[in-house]
Chain A
């Protein structure tokens, strides 16, 4: 009911997301870079607001649990809950964030029954895209737009962020068109996450979320690869924070 405040905080590796629910309605959304001190900006944002139950998720969840008395859930549980609220028919979520890529089988009740998480390296994640965009001299929006204008992709073979950067530099030096390299990089991400998706795919809607889902290019390539429709929420970064708030 209105006046019942629930707060979800997702301290991600790159961005911190806060969603405040007043009853069942989203009353506030905050997104800001995760700083070296992840706690201070969160405290600042919450300071002047009505107190409510807090659930924290993401890399910094334990820190918030200790300092704010927040309950904690994993990003996987939070993401499933957030997705279920917006897409009740969703049975598979692909969440690509700053440093991880996860694929989650969402249940009919908004829980999860199975998941995949990329291993210890950042290939195929937001951080990988940032490094590649910089190597090509683009900002992230330009990077995405440029890739979508390419007539064909230049294959980028390296999965390792460091080696891929060297490969991109070599391709530029070899005279390859930047937009074709950009498309090649997006395709390499699709190749990287597709096996994780294929392992868990099942009937039902597929939702693509996380910061990387802001890239229209990647969503479009993923649709072609999966040969099915993929939903992308208007604000794909906040789903885990929303889920955390719903679980509060």
Chain B
């Protein structure tokens, strides 16, 4: 493979992409676009903790170092599982020695390749993911031993039918309610997933390995919860954009190495609070983001909010609290432990459930817990469940006396100016509220 003289990428990376059979040129264009966003919206921001360097590396390595690492582990016999949602019980994947990585797309650059085949009025996350798959620019696709979808929304559900034609696809049926029959259904789905994973890996779930996986995931959740605990400080020691980068890394990185680095970051944040170091001035308005996830490539909302002069103190999203809320109860025996895992995942308050009163209560609770001055509801365009639920969320927040703003957008930059005005005006209204 000839190395282009002006390529911004290393020979090693380009060799990898060629070996994977990717469209190397197009992949380079898309990756350059993601990198440019990262430099502008994340790396170029002031007041970042030194420990963030590790997570920047995870993002940069997501198309290089991490892919090589997975190939090496596969060569040693491990299986690689691609996921698209926080409902996939990663404990089971890890207990069987397999590697889970979330493959959701956060870049606008791949969307035109999805729109060649799929309806335009699907959410940008699904379109971006499909665009990477269809344009042959996702480095993980060629490595997948199994892809795991779930039935959280119609766009995803029907997408799986198409992607599954290539084989190696498993769909978890997520119930839409949380009654006894739904819990039974979900437990059955988790068991079926465990069976599929056992078949794939040629291993059997055993108590010590499952217990170790549960403990590892719980340790990761505790580390992320502590990071959020530290963000309660005024001003917070970490920007919301950096916290998002950590959460995005969680979905890609090796869980143990990731957790160790979050713990390292937490120690630095603790030290920053003691020394009064923060990317923000004291008194900076504190906002909670609630709604849809922002996956790698998508730092748009966080950048707009934090350059408008506010601090994001927490995300009530799948790249936020939904990923680490509640641990799995440790129980003796494989069967009892699998039940505890199923129970934990069904506590996730995704907008796909009806009714979903617990999410409304949780948002109000989180806004108080993080001492948020207001809530920004983040809705990815054409995400029907979050968009429609936004009406109830806004009403619950109003009743609780918490101001909120709804932002509905996609990955494109064209509306950045208008969104900026709306966010700035929302912040002005918070100032006014305090003064009055």
Contacts and interface: CB of A to CB of B under 8 A. Distances in A.
Given A107-B436, A109-B436, A115 B425 contact: yes
B108 to A, nearest CB: 14
A75 interface: yes
A112 B418 CA distance: 18
B415 A120 contact: yes
A32 B15 CA distance: 58
A235 interface: no
B428 interface: yes
Give the interface size bracket for A toward B.
10 to 19
B199 interface: no
A76 B418 CA distance: 12
B429 A111 contact: yes
A113 B414 CA distance: 27
Interface in A43-75: 59, 73-75
A99 to B, nearest CB: 9
B436 A74 contact: no
Q: Which one of B408, B417, B429, B436 has the highest number of Cβ atoms from chain A below 10 Å of its Cβ?
A: B429
A73 B418 contact: no
Contacts of B422: 115, 117
A77 interface: yes
A194 B259 CA distance: 52
Contacts of B414: 120
Interface in B257-302: none
B36 interface: no
Contacts of A109: 436
Interface string B401-433: 000000010000011011001101100110011
Contacts of A115: 422, 425, 429
Interface string A89-130: 000000000001000000101011111010110000000000
A74 B426 CA distance: 10
B421 A75 contact: yes
A100 B425 contact: no
A232 to B, nearest CB: 23
Nearest to A74: B425
B424 A74 contact: yes
A122 B363 CA distance: 34
A76 B436 contact: no
A76 B415 contact: no
Contacts of B417: 59
Contact of A77 (B418, B428, B436): B428
Given A74-B424, A74-B425, A77-B425, A119 B418 contact: yes
A76 B426 CA distance: 9
Contacts of A119: 408, 415, 418
B419 to A, nearest CB: 9
Interface residues of B, number: 14
B432 A112 contact: yes
Contacts of B408: 119
Nearest to A112: B429
Contacts of A100: 418
B402 to A, nearest CB: 14
A58 B418 CA distance: 11
Nearest to B421: A74
A117 B421 contact: yes
A244 B432 CA distance: 15
A157 B428 CA distance: 37
A100 B415 CA distance: 12
A111 B425 contact: no
A112 B426 CA distance: 10
A114 B397 CA distance: 14
Contacts of B432: 77, 107, 111-113
Nearest to A115: B425
Interface in A5-62: 59
A231 to B, nearest CB: 23
Contacts of A73: 428
B428 A120 contact: no
B134 to A, nearest CB: 26
A74 B421 CA distance: 6
A59 B416 CA distance: 12
Contacts of A107: 432, 436
Contacts of A75: 421, 425
A74 B422 CA distance: 8
Interface in B127-185: none
Interface in A154-202: none
A73 B432 CA distance: 12
A120 B415 CA distance: 6
Q: Which one of B408, B417, B425 has the highest number of Cβ atoms from chain A below 10 Å of its Cβ?
A: B425
Given A111-B432, A112-B432, A120 B418 contact: yes
B304 to A, nearest CB: 14
Nearest to A117: B422
Contacts of A77: 425, 428, 432
Contacts of A117: 418, 421-422, 425
Interface string B23-64: 000000000000000000000000000000000000000000
Nearest to A110: B432
A112 B435 CA distance: 12
A115 B428 CA distance: 12
8 contacts: A74-B421, A75-B425, A76-B421, A77-B425, A100-B418, A113-B432, A120-B414, A120-B418
Given A114-B429, A117-B418, 5 more contacts: A74-B424, A74-B428, A75-B421, A75-B425, A120-B414
Interface of A: 59, 73-77, 100, 107, 109, 111-115, 117, 119-120
